[in-house]
Amino acid sequence: MTKTNHSMCSKCSKLICKTDLQAENDPLGEAPEYCPMKLWPGLLDEALEEYKKEENLECARLASIQEFECYEHTPQGIRTRHPRIEELIMFAQKCNYHKLGIAFCSGLEHEARLLTRILEKNGFEVVSVRCKVGAVPKEEIGIRPEEKIAGPEKWESMCNPILQAMILNAENVDLAIMLGLCIGHDTLFIKYCQRPITVLAVKDRVTGHNPLAALYLSSSYYRRLMKD
Ligand code: SF4
């Protein structure tokens, strides 16, 4: 099949995917040409087949219930109610997970300690692995002296997300939690981790690990992102 377009949901205002596709007026006909439901019709059935697998079905069902529980209906309207850490605890309990593994960045050791304490107080067994595990010098992956953060003469252990993943695999954790891994290191961690993964936080040194802050400011202080 020759594709004339790429999927571009982020540019769509039709939102046909939020309607009943079986309705008589053929809603899919109204979808834009770049709609992935038009471009990749066979994949919908393929994905639905995957949901029939017991472990996927249960995860999807519990995730949807978790999502539902994050809202409450009040006389003033619908309100949100759980921060992500609380959601993480609730979801892990729903899934009957007992052993949780934290893969954290050394720059977030305080947060890793807090997270461990909170998870333990909520009844979980917690395993944690720091990014510097292995104490492998950065030279091992081709980093030149002038590319070391602490300075050319200083020892610097490389971040080792592959080993972090391997250790959490070996520990057979029920759920691996990524906490502040750097961009790219997170890519490798996800590639090698064979356990179910979730993310509590991603690394953003400038915004207190809230990367969306820069997006929210992209029409003002971070206008440079728009190349205007
Ligand atoms: S799936 Fe189709 S209808 Fe839904 S947002 Fe994407 S392009 Fe729009």
Give mean pLDDT, residues 159-181. 98
| Chain segment 89-101, per-residue pLDDT in tens | 999 999 999 999 9
What residue ranges do the domains of the chain occupy? 36-81, 83-228
Q: How confident is the model at residue 155 (pLDDT cuts 50, 70, 90)?
A: very high
Q: How confident is the model at residue 203 (pLDDT cuts 50, 70, 90)?
A: very high
From the list 101, 89, 72, the residue with the least C-alpha distance to 194 is 101
What is the DSSP secondary-structure string of 106-127? GGGHHHHHHHHHHHHHTT-EEE
**The predicted structure's pLDDT at residue 228:** 78
Q: Are 179 and 115 in contact (CB under 8 A)?
A: yes
| Chain segment 112-125, per-residue pLDDT in tens | 999 999 999 999 99
* CB-ligand 1 contact for 202 (6 Å cutoff): no
Give mean pLDDT, residues 76-102. 97
* CB-ligand 1 contact for 17 (6 Å cutoff): yes
The single residue listed with the structure tokens 């400038």 is 206
Residue whose CB lies within 8 A of the most ligand 1 atoms, among 12, 28, 44, for a mutation test: 12
Query: What 3-state DSSP class applies to 154?
Result: coil
Q: How confident is the model at residue 4 (pLDDT cuts 50, 70, 90)?
A: low
Q: What is the mean pLDDT of the chain?
A: 96
Give mean pLDDT, residues 2-26. 89
Inform me whether the pLDDT recorded for 3 exceeds 90: no
Looking at CATH, the fold of the domain delimited by 83-228 is given as Rossmann fold (3.40.50)
Question: How many CB atoms are located within 10 Å of the residue 177 CB?
Answer: 25
Q: Which residues is 198 bridged to in the sheet?
A: 177
Residues above pLDDT 90, as percent of the chain: 95
Q: How confident is the model at residue 1 (pLDDT cuts 50, 70, 90)?
A: very low
Where are the alpha helices (H) located in the chain, listed in sequence order? 36-39, 41-51, 54-69, 84-94, 109-121, 161-170, 185-192, 212-216
Give mean pLDDT, residues 39-65. 97
Inform me whether the pLDDT recorded for 152 exceeds 60: yes
pTM: 0.94
* CB-ligand 1 contact for 44 (6 Å cutoff): no
CA distances from 4 to 7, 39, 110 (A): 10, 9, 49
